[in-house]
Amino acid sequence: MLGLFYIFVFMKVSFDYDKTISRRDVQDYALYLKSKGIEVSILTSRPEYKIREVYDLADELGIENVRYTNYETKALFLDGYDLHIDDDDKELKDIEHYSTCEGINVNLSNWREITNELLNI
C-alpha cells in the first residue's frame, strides 16, 4: 500500500525594527505573511536594554520571536532564515556576503513584490 507523504516547507522571514517593521505598511505585510503560514520574527541591532518597544510591537502583531544583536551585524543571526527585510544598506550588504539568507531593501518601491516572488506567494 502506498502512503501519501506531504512535504511542508516552513518559510522564515525576519524584519528589522527601526524604519522597517516600525512602519504601519510593513506591519500589515508581516501580518499578511503570518496569515500565509510564514514564520515571522523581528531582528534588531539594538542592545537588550533598548528593546521594550520592540517587544510591545511584537506582542501587538502576535510575533513570538524577537532577537537583538547588540550592534553586531545581523548576518550572523540569520541562520535558518529565508529572507530578512531591512532599510540599512550596510546590513543588507553584510547579509549578501556572510549569510545564505536573502536580504530585501524595504526602501525599494517594489519590495513587497520582490518578497512575494521569492516566497512564491
DSSP string, 45-101: SS-GGG-HHHHHHHHHHT--EEEE-TTS-GGGG-TT-SEEEES-HHHHHHHHHH-SS
With contact defined as beta carbons under 8 Å apart, do 90 and 69 qualify?
Answer: no
**Domain extents in the chain:** 12-119
What is the residue-level pLDDT of the chain in tens, covering all 121 positions? 455 554 445 799 999 999 999 999 999 999 999 999 999 999 999 998 898 999 999 999 999 999 999 999 999 999 999 999 999 999 999 999 999 999 999 999 999 999 999 999 9
- The verdict on domain 12-119 having CATH code 3.40.50.1000 is yes
Residue type at position 65: N
